[in-house]
Each structure stands twice: as structure tokens, then as C-alpha cells.
């Protein structure tokens, strides 16, 4: 018979779970044949594990899944509402800016626009990207290009505000 010390609680549990090596297991088996206190220890853990495996799991209340789906709907509606507000505010600000520029008169904003477009032209020259073709065109149409860009941008924002309906909100778990 293999001579080993009494089992501690850790080893008794490892024995029951089959976590010991073949050699360790043989030693424990041999010891258990002649040690009543270690037998009792192993049996007590065996009974405990058996009882634990019969612990009932709590049943979820009725309507649980419907409650989850209702929460999801609520969150998504709130997020969609927030998103629409943000887009609408952006659109309103852009429109107000365009109106203010128009009302201020050409004298107020034309020099600034001219400076911006001239800077753009200089940049194109600097980059040597089709400078001989683009520069005269951009210089001639600079005001029209800026007004058209603003109009397209505002229209795009308005369309987005109608379409903005996120599939689901992003919440970090």
C-alpha cells in the first residue's frame, strides 16, 4: 500500500473531480482503504456536490422576453430622437448662416469669400495640379461654387434628418 498523508480538503475535492494524476489517485485510493476520517471527508464532499447539482435554477418571470424587447424599443426611440435633434440643429445653424451672409450684403462677405477662394487657387498652384486649367475656372466661379456648396450641404442635412433612424443604439456592455 502506498503510504501518504491524510487528505486535505483541496485534495479530497480534486480526487472526486478526477483531477489527480494516476499515481496520486492510486495513493489516495490506497490510503482511503485504511483511513476512516479521510473516507468521511471524501464522502462529505461527495454528498455536498450531489446536493449542489440538485439546486434549482430560478425561473424567469412571465413576460421576461417581451420586457427585454420593450426596453430595446424604448432605447432605440430615445436614441433616434436625439439624433434627429442634432441633425436638425446643424441644419438650422447652416441655414441661419447662409441667410445672415445674404442679408449682410455682398460688401460684407464677398471680400472674405474672395480671400478664401484665392487661397484655394494659390494652393492649387502650389500643388501644380492642373493649375493652368483649374485656376481660371475656380477664380471666375468662386462665388457661385461656394453658394452651390452651401445649398447642397443644407439639403443633404435636411434629407439626413428625415432618414436618421439608427438600427440600434451603441451601448458599451
Partner 1 sequence: MAPPSHDASLALSAARGDRQAFARLVEENKRSVYGLCVRLLSDPEEARDAAQEAFTRAYASLESFDLEQPFAPWILRIARNLCLDTLRRRIPARARVELDADDEDGPPRELADTNSERADDAIQNAQTRQALEEAVAALPPNYREVVHLFHVEQLSYKEIAATMGIPMGTVMTWLHRARSQLRTLLEGQEVAP
Residues that bind partner 1 (CB under 8 A): 9-10, 13-14, 19, 44-45, 47-61, 64-65, 67-69, 71-72, 75, 167-173
How far apart are the C-alpha atoms of 1 and 30, rounded to whole Å? 6
* Of 13 and 117, CB closest to partner 1: 13
* Of 3 and 10, CB closest to partner 1: 10
Q: Closest distance between partner 1 and the C-beta of residue 170, in Å?
A: 6
Q: Which of 70, 72, 84, 6 is nearest to 41 (CA)?
A: 6
Residue 38 burial (C-beta neighbours within 10 Å; 0-12, 13-18, 19+): buried
Q: Closest distance between partner 1 and the C-beta of residue 79, in Å?
A: 9
Residue 12 neighbours by CB distance under 10 Å: 22
Rg (CA), the chain: 39
**163: which 3 cell numbers?**
432618414
Q: Closest distance between partner 1 and the C-beta of residue 36, in Å?
A: 17
Q: Closest distance between partner 1 and the C-beta of residue 7, in Å?
A: 12
User: Is the Cβ–Cβ distance between 47 and 71 less than 8 Å?
Assistant: no
* Of 58 and 107, CB closest to partner 1: 58
* Of 64 and 103, CB closest to partner 1: 64
Amino acid at each position: 500500500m502506498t503510504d501518504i498523508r491524510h487528505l486535505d480538503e483541496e485534495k479530497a475535492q480534486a480526487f472526486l473531480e478526477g483531477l489527480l494524476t494516476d499515481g496520486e489517485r492510486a495513493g489516495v485510493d490506497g490510503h482511503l482503504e485504511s483511513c476512516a476520517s479521510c473516507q468521511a471527508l471524501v464522502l462529505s464532499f461527495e454528498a455536498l456536490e450531489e446536493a449542489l447539482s440538485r439546486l434549482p435554477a430560478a425561473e424567469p418571470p412571465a413576460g421576461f422576453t417581451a420586457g427585454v424587447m420593450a426596453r430595446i424599443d424604448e432605447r432605440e426611440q430615445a436614441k433616434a430622437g436625439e439624433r434627429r435633434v442634432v441633425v436638425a440643429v446643424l441644419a438650422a445653424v447652416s441655414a441661419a448662416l447662409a441667410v445672415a451672409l445674404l442679408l449682410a450684403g455682398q460688401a460684407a462677405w464677398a471680400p472674405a469669400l474672395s480671400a478664401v477662394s484665392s487661397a484655394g487657387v494659390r494652393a492649387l498652384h502650389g500643388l501644380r495640379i492642373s493649375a493652368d486649367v483649374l485656376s481660371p475656372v475656380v477664380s471666375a466661379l468662386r462665388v457661385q461654387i461656394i453658394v452651390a456648396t452651401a445649398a447642397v450641404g443644407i439639403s443633404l442635412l435636411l434629407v439626413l434628418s428625415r432618414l436618421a433612424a439608427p438600427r440600434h443604439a451603441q451601448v458599451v456592455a
